[in-house]
C-alpha cells in the first residue's frame, strides 16, 4: 500500500470541495471494500476524505410516511432498526444476508451502494481488466465467469454488482440524496448505476466529488409483505450466485402490485420490469411466477460457465413470491 494523505472534513460542503479537487482521492466510510482494494494495489488514492464523523448517521421517519436513512448509518444498525424490520423487511433481510457480522458493523449505507462492481480478475493486477485499466481487455469474458453477468453485459466487462442492499433498495424504488459541486439533488436509484458499455470503469452517473448523503424510502404499505432471498455457495460471507428482492400486494388472489429486483445477474442491480408486468392484474400462482421470470430472462445472454443462473433465478423468483403469497 502506498502512502496517502488523510483529511477529515468539518461538513459535507468541505468534503465535496476537497475531493472534487483531488482526481485520485476517495471517500472513506467503513472502508470494507476500499481498504481491501488498496492493499491489493487495485485502487491507489493519494488522499482519503473520511466522512464517518459527518452528521449523516440517523434513520428518520419523514412526514409522508417514508424513511430517510443517512449515508453513514452502519449496516448492522439499519438491519436492527424497528421501523425497517416492521415496514421494510426486504431491506433488513438483504442486510443480514450480506458479508459477516463484523463487516456489517463497519459498512455504511452509502459505501455499500458505491462498492466496486467487480470480479476476481479486477482484483488481480496481473490480469487484463478494462474496469481497472481501460483498454487492457476482459479476462473474464472467456475465462472463469461462473459468478458473472447474464444480463446487460458488454464485450468490455461482464462483472456483477455485489451489493445485497442495493438490490433491495432498487425493488423499493428508493431515491438517493447526493451533494455535489452544484449542491444537493435527488437521484432515483434506477438512474444511479450505469451499464458497462464501452466504459466499465464508470460505474455510476455521479460526477467527481459527489457524495451520497442519504437514501429515502417511499411510503409503501405493500412492503410489509416483502422478502429477500439469496443463494450462495456457502451460508455466510459470500456474494450471491443469485438473489431476488420481492414485494407483493394481493387483492384476494389477484396481484395488485409487485416489485422485483435481481442481484448477481448484471453490472447493476436489476429491476425486473418485464416480470412485474407479467404478474400484475392476474391471479397469482407459482406457474405465473415462473412465466414472469422467464419473460424477464428472455433477454439474457449467459456466458460459458453461468447458464445455471437462468433456472436458478426462475426458481428463487417462484419461491420468494409463493412464500409471500401464502404469508
In the chain, % of residues over pLDDT 70: 100
- CB–CB of 163/115 below 8 Å? yes
Q: Which three cell numbers stand for residue 127?
A: 490480469
Tell me the residue length of the chain. Answer: 327
Helix axes 89-96, 164-172, angle to 10 degrees: 170
3-state secondary structure of 138: strand
3-state secondary structure of 291: helix
Position 90 in a domain: no
What is the predicted pLDDT for the residue at 1? 62
Q: How far is CA 207 from CA 1, 23, 100, 180, 211, in A?
A: 26, 11, 31, 7, 9
Question: CA angle 204-205-207, nearest 5°?
Answer: 105
pLDDT, averaged across the chain? 97
What is the predicted pLDDT for the residue at 54? 98
Position 165 in a domain: no
- Structural element, H or E, at residue 226: strand 226-231
Structural domain containing residue 24: 5-52
- The reported pTM is 0.97
Position 179 in a domain: no
Position 279 in a domain: yes
Position 270 in a domain: yes
What is the predicted pLDDT for the residue at 236? 85
| Domain C-terminal end among 52, 68, 83 | 52
**Closest Cα partner for 100 from 119, 78, 123, 75?**
75
Position 284 in a domain: yes
Position 280 in a domain: yes
What is the predicted pLDDT for the residue at 2? 84
CATH number at residue 291: 3.30.390.50
Q: How many domains does the chain have?
A: 2
With a cut of 70, which residues of the chain have pLDDT below it? 1
| Domain C-terminal end among 20, 35, 52 | 52
CATH number at residue 17: 3.30.43.10
Position 187 in a domain: no
Residues 207-266: tens digit of each pLDDT: 999 999 999 999 999 999 999 999 999 988 899 999 999 999 999 999 999 999 999 999
Amino acid at each position: 500500500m502506498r502512502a496517502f494523505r488523510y483529511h477529515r472534513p468539518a461538513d459535507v460542503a468541505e468534503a465535496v470541495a476537497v475531493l472534487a479537487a483531488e482526481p485520485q482521492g476517495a471517500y472513506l466510510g467503513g472502508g470494507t471494500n476500499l481498504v481491501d482494494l488498496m492493499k491489493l494495489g487495485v485502487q491507489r488514492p493519494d488522499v482519503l476524505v473520511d466522512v464517518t464523523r459527518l452528521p449523516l448517521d440517523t434513520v428518520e421517519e419523514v412526514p409522508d410516511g417514508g424513511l430517510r436513512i443517512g449515508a453513514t448509518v452502519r449496516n448492522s444498525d439499519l438491519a436492527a432498526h424497528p421501523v425497517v424490520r416492521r415496514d421494510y423487511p426486504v431491506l433488513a433481510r438483504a442486510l443480514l444476508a450480506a458479508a459477516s457480522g463484523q463487516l456489517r458493523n463497519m459498512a455504511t449505507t452509502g459505501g455499500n451502494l458505491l462498492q466496486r462492481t467487480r470480479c476476481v480478475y479486477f482484483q488481480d493486477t496481473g490480469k487484463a481488466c478494462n474496469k481497472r485499466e481501460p483498454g487492457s481487455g476482459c479476462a473474464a469474458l472467456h475465462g472463469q465467469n461462473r459468478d458473472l453477468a447474464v444480463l446487460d453485459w458488454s464485450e468490455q466487462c461482464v462483472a456483477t454488482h455485489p451489493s445485497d442492499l442495493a438490490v433491495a433498495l432498487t425493488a423499493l424504488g428508493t431515491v438517493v440524496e447526493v451533494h455535489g459541486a452544484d449542491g444537493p439533488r435527488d437521484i432515483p436509484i434506477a438512474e444511479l448505476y450505469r451499464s458497462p458499455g464501452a466504459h466499465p470503469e464508470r460505474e455510476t452517473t455521479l460526477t467527481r466529488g459527489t457524495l451520497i448523503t442519504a437514501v429515502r424510502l417511499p411510503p409503501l404499505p405493500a412492503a410489509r409483505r416483502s422478502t429477500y432471498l439469496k443463494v450462495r455457495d456457502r451460508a455466510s460471507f459470500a456474494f450471491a450466485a443469485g438473489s431476488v428482492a420481492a414485494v407483493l400486494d394481493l387483492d384476494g388472489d389477484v396481484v395488485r402490485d409487485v416489485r422485483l429486483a435481481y442481484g448477481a445477474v448484471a453490472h447493476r442491480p436489476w429491476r425486473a420490469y418485464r416480470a412485474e408486468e407479467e404478474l400484475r392484474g392476474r391471479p397469482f400462482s407459482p406457474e405465473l411466477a415462473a412465466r414472469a421470470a422467464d419473460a424477464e430472462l428472455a433477454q439474457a445472454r449467459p456466458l460459458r460457465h453461468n447458464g445455471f443462473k437462468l433456472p436458478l433465478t426462475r426458481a428463487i423468483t417462484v419461491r420468494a413470491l409463493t412464500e409471500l403469497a401464502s404469508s
